[in-house]
Structure 1
Amino acid sequence: MSHYHAVVWLDHHEAKVFHITETEAEKITVKGRVPDRHINTRGGKSREHAHADDAFLHEVVEALSGAQEWLITGPGEAKHELMRHIERHDPQYRGRVVGVESADHPSDGQVCAHARRVFAKVDRTLPQR
C-alpha cells in the first residue's frame, strides 16, 4: 500500500514508518543493527554516542520511498543522521521531506495523529494539485 504521506519515528535501534491517509495507516518496522559507538573523552569525561549505519538508513529510505511527502521524527540524533544520509546518498528524495522534528517515545497512534496535523498544515500552503 502506498500513500501520499509518510512519517517515520526512528532511533538507532529501529524505525517505525507509517504510510498514512486521513483514516488509515500502514506500518513498516525496520530494525537497526548494533549501532556504532564512539567514545568522546573531551574534558576528561567519557560519553558514548551511537550512530546508525548506512544499511539501516537505506532501508528506512526504501520504506519511505512510496510516499511523496515525508515527516521525520525521533528522540535523538538518528533523525539528523537520516537527513544527512538522504543528502549524501539519495538527494532525489530531499524535496519530499516536509519536516524534521523531535519526538520522545510516542505511541504509534500519537505519531500518526501528529503527522496528520503537520501534513494538513503543509498541504494548505501548497498550490492545489
Structure 2
Amino acid sequence: MSSMTILINTNKANLYHFGLNGVEKQEIAYAGKKHPIETFATNHPIHQTDEEKFYHQVCAVLEKTSANEWLILGAGQGVDHFLNHLEKHHPVLKKNIVGQFKIPHLTENQLLATARGYFRKIHTFQTLLTF
C-alpha cells in the first residue's frame, strides 16, 4: 500500500509520495493561459474555467501514480473545489481518498508530520479491523 498527501489550492498542488526511500515531492502549477483580469495584476480570484483546467492537470498526474491512498489537504477553498471536481469529472479517482481536511499554512516539515500521523492512525485502525 502506497500513500500520498496532496496539498492543493486553486492553482498549485504539491504531491508528497511516501515510499520506502522517503518522501518524493512533485509540484504542479497551472500551466495554461490565465484569465485576462489576472494578467493586469488585479487581485482577483482565478477564473473558474482556469481552475477546472488546473484540476484536470492534477488528475492527469494522479491517474498515473502508484499511490492508492490519498490524503487531501489545503488552507482554503481549493480542497472543496478539487473534491467537487473529482466527483463531477473523475469519480473513479475519488475512491483513493482516505481523508481530507483544511489546515492552516504549515511548514513542509509540519505538513509531513501531520500526514505521517494521519496515515499511522488509519493503518493502526485498519490493523485492528483485521482481528
Under TM normalisation by the shorter chain, which class is it?
0.7 to 0.9
Number of the residue aligned with 1:63: 61
SS at match of 1:12: coil
Are the equivalent residues in 1 in contact too, given 2:11–2:54 (CA < 8 A)?
no
Alignment of 1:1-129 (within 5 A): 4-21=2-19, 24-32=22-30, 34=34, 50=46, 51=48, 53-65=51-63, 66=65, 67-126=67-126
Identity %: 24
Match of 1:44 in 2: none
Higher strand share: 1
| CA gap 1:64/1:112 in 2 versus in 1, 3 angstroms | farther
Q: 1: CA distance between counterparts of 2:112 and 2:21?
A: 10
Question: What's the offset of the Cα at 1:105?
Answer: 1.9
CA distance in 2, matches of 1:68, 1:104: 25
Task: Give TM-score scaled by structure 1 length.
Answer: 0.75
Query: Mean alpha-carbon deviation: is it higher for 7-16 or for 104-113?
Result: 104-113
Q: CA deviation at 1:100?
A: 1.2
**Unaligned segments of structure 1, at least 5 residues:** 38-47
Preserved contact between residue 17 and residue 24 of structure 2 (Cα < 8 Å): yes
Provide, for residues 55-109 of structure 1, a one-character-per-residue CA deviation record: whole Å limited to 9, x for no partner: 2112222333411000111111111111111111111111211111112221222
1:43 corresponding residue in structure 2: none
Aligned Cα root-mean-square deviation (Å): 2.5
Unaligned runs of 5+ in 2: 38-43
1:64, 1:115 → 2: CA distance? 18
Q: Following the alignment from structure 1 to structure 2, what is the Cα–Cα distance between the partners of residues 79 and 36?
A: 24
Give the number of aligned pairs: 116
Provide the rounded CA distance (Å) in 1 between the counterparts of 2:60 and 2:23: 17
Whose helix proportion is higher, 1 or 2?
2
Aligned counterpart, 2:41: none
CA positional deviation for 1:23 = 6.2
**Structure 2 length-normalised TM:** 0.74
